[in-house]
Structure 1
Amino acid sequence: MNVNDVAKVFDTILSIPGMGEAVKIDLRMSRKNVLLLNQVIELGIAAKAEDKTGLLDSLSHGDLEELKTLANDCLSKAGLNELSEKLKLLASK
């Protein structure tokens, strides 16, 4: 399958009725994994231009913002906002 076909499949899956409904997830994970999850989400969104699957191109701006909010909420609930910001500063030097 080429990139265009993959993007169409993702778009089809994401448009299935009920896929836009909110679900409640009770998630327990270590702070280490919260920090890693946040990084993975941020790096994935930042690499949107290099996405070879077409998945990120099929997402709306609102969906991407929702993912960013999720990542930030996880950091907040784990009390890792300040640590995450300091790690970003270290990485940028």
Structure 2
Amino acid sequence: MEAKETKWLYETILSGPGMDEQVKFSFTASRKVILLLAEAIENGLKMEGSGLKDSIGTTGITELEQLKELVLERSNLSLLANQLTKIK
């Protein structure tokens, strides 16, 4: 699928009814999974040409960055994640 088709698909899905509603959830995950989730979010936000970044805009990017920081903070992995980022 080309980037513009992917962007159109994401925009269509994300503009559906109720997609802007706030959702509160509680889950349990290992620190390993939390660290991998944070890395996946960070890598996804760095990807160019996927259509995802273009379709979510700056608000969506900010929300994903905040979610990444929140899960790292709550799992006491912020310092480790920052140190790993410096190594890259």
Equivalence for 1:56: 53
Letter in 2 for 1:50: G
| Alpha-carbon distance in 1 for matches of 2:69, 2:14 | 23
Shift of the alpha carbon at 1:29?
Answer: 0.3
Equivalence for 1:87: 84
Rg bigger for which structure? 1
Equivalence for 2:73: 76
Equivalence for 1:37: 37
- The residue correspondences of 1:4-19 to structure 2 (distance < 5 A) are 4-19=4-19
Extract unaligned runs of 5+ from structure 1. none
Shift of the alpha carbon at 1:86?
Answer: 1.2
| Residue 65 (1) aligns with residue 69 (2) | no
Aligned pair count reads: 88
Equivalence for 1:3: 3
Equivalence for 1:46: 46
CA contact (8 A) 2:3 2:49 kept: no
TM-score normalised by L of structure 1: 0.85
CA contact (8 A) 2:34 2:71 kept: yes
Extract unaligned runs of 5+ from structure 2. none
Shift of the alpha carbon at 1:26?
Answer: 1.0
Paired-residue identity, %: 35
Change (3 A) 1:2 1:82: closer
